[in-house]
């Protein structure tokens, strides 16, 4: 069985599904509506204080270890965005607000 777990959406998702044929199992984090149109399903993301607090607790306890590639002060947000848009970041790019 072929499966796609999509994190991009849009035309990339449509092309991947077409390349895999009719028996592909498809789930999308980025584009649930397109995934549904293609016979798959989406992931419902809850962006609530409760969810973020649980994630923060997992990071704090060491269970979850996000890879932070670069940290920038807020006044260098443009440089941080350029790094992300350039596709060269291999981990998270963080802006320090304080």
pLDDT of residue 33: 93
The residue written with tokens 């028996």 in the block is: 23
> Which regions of the chain does DSSP assign to beta strands (E)?
3-6, 25-28, 41-42, 68-73, 92-96
pLDDT of residue 77: 96
Tokens of 22: 């009719």
Residues 6 or more apart in contact with residue 1 via CB below 8 angstroms:
23, 25
What's the chain's average pLDDT?
Answer: 91
pLDDT of residue 95: 95
Residue ranges per structural domain of the chain: 3-42, 49-96
- For residue 94, pLDDT over 90 is answered with yes
- For residue 41, pLDDT over 90 is answered with yes
pTM of the model: 0.52
């Amino acid at each position: 069985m072929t499966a796609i777990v999509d994190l991009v959406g849009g035309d990339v998702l449509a092309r991947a599904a077409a390349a895999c044929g009719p028996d592909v199992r498809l789930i999308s984090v980025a584009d649930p509506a397109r995934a549904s149109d293609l016979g798959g399903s989406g992931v419902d993301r809850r962006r609530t204080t409760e969810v973020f607090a649980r994630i923060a607790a997992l990071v704090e306890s060491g269970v979850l270890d996000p890879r932070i590639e670069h940290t920038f002060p807020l006044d260098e947000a443009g440089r941080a965005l350029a790094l992300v848009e350039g596709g060269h970041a291999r981990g998270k790019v963080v802006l320090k607000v304080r």
